[in-house]
Amino acid sequence: MYECYNRKLLRIDLTARKYAQEEIPPELIENWIGGMGFGIHQLTNEVDPLSDALSSENKLIFSTGPISGTGAPLFAQTCLVTKSPLTGGVTNNYCGGELAAHIKNSGYDFLVFEGKADRLVYVVISDGTVKFVDCPELAGKTVTETEEYIKSKEGKELSTAAIGLAGENLVRFASVISATRVFGRNGAGAVMGSKNLKAFAVGGDCGVRIHNPVAFQETVDEIFGVLQKLNEAPFSLLGSFSQFGTGAGMPMINANYTLATRNHKLCHFEDADKIDGAAYLSLDNVKTRKVACLGCPIHCGQLHYFEGGRFKGMFTRGPEYETMYSLGSNCMNNDPEVLAKAHQLCEDYGMDTLSTGVTVAFGMECAEKGLLNPKDDGVDLKFGNNDSILQAIEHIAKRQGFGDILAEGTKRASDILGADSEQFAMNV
């Protein structure tokens, strides 16, 4: 297994704008297998558990696994480990796409970002070098704008990971986004923003060593065969993922009365069929294309282009199931186009759609009970007012008005608002 690794960690000191390569001992990789194991080991050994997650003491650790970058199905994930500003605990996030392969091809297995830059920067990792680039022009830019800018300057062949306005504004559930894939949970984007790190780009042509290429390919072919069979009846759910994306599971979840609805007060949504995976394929004004992570035959990703309608010209990847429930049923939103727009806004601003939806639904119930008055900010935030979801997302990302409270997440927002609001604040 050790041979599958480059056996190198790249440590990037944002404060000093320096970097160093470190050799990874075989026993460390053997004992802490995979990206999550290694990342958690490094974080817990290097970061004081009592430190502030948004201080320069925290670190961002991007980790690959032993099979990352080989093209083997289901192993395209990159793991991001950091201390969460939302929960205060260790959080690990997974992101699909091609980032892991590009990290491996750059000659490294693990990237550790530490310290804090004195101004907004992006970092380029390529051909054995690291470049720090001041980027005041990217302040406030969306994730897509940031990615396009960096690739125009540094090369389209690189893979990027970036934050949007929510990360810069330290929204506690801000995310880190790589292309259309997301490190979504628990505020890793806010940690990145606290370090004045707008993005990094990575790539190279080192490739991945495989001990026995013939045996490896035989195993990959066998896995492909199993997955192809699982795409057929009677394994209809996995096959449905290929056809409808992860939203394919929504009808079953709703039928079993386990679909979070109206801030988790209810467990069944009458209009679920209007916002599930199949709903988007039935829209006349939407063109859909299936996409997959590197080496995966399932193709659960759904790229939607809106040729007409209210949001003509909008392009989204997803929404995924989590978004369908959090910004859909949980907010009593039955409009698939508004749901897709909410998803796009979260991706542009760099916010976790799951936490965003749960927090917006909490805000709706607070407004309903008179504990929060979004109308002071011109927003009629209530269940069933679908447009108010879009307005709430804007206010949260910009930390404007009531959005500044909700940007803290449901637990802290409940502490601020009081009046027994913790009774309907969904958090652990």
The model's pLDDT over 60-79, given as tens digits with 9 standing for 90+, comes to 999 998 888 888 887 888 99
- In the structure, what pLDDT confidence band is assigned to residue 3 with cuts at 50, 70 and 90? low
Task: Write down all domains in the chain, each with its CATH number in brackets.
Answer: 2-203 (3.60.9.10), 236-416 (1.10.569.10)
Half-sphere exposure of 77 (CA within 13 A, CB side): 14
The model's pLDDT over 364-385, given as tens digits with 9 standing for 90+, comes to 999 999 999 999 999 999 999 9
- Report CA-CA distances (Å) from 286 to 6, 107, 312, 315: 43, 41, 9, 10
The model's pLDDT over 328-355, given as tens digits with 9 standing for 90+, comes to 999 999 999 999 999 999 999 999 999 9
Copy the structure tokens of residue 280. 């988007």
Q: What is the pLDDT of residue 90?
A: 96
Q: What is the pLDDT of residue 73?
A: 81
Look at residue 234 and tell me whether its pLDDT is greater than 80.
Answer: no
Q: Which residues pair with 11 in a beta bridge?
A: 20, 112
- Rounded distance between C-alpha atoms, residue 149 and residue 341, angstroms: 23
The model's pLDDT over 167-199, given as tens digits with 9 standing for 90+, comes to 999 999 999 999 888 999 999 999 999 999 999
Comparing 1-5, 73-77, 294-298, 324-328, the range with the smallest average pLDDT is: 1-5
The model's pLDDT over 82-139, given as tens digits with 9 standing for 90+, comes to 999 999 999 999 998 899 999 999 999 999 999 999 999 999 999 889 999 999 999 9
- In the structure, what pLDDT confidence band is assigned to residue 265 with cuts at 50, 70 and 90? very high
- Indicate the pTM of the whole model: 0.93
Per-residue buried b or exposed e for 97-112, using 16+ beta carbons within 10 Å of the residue's own CB: bbbbbbbbbbbbbbbb
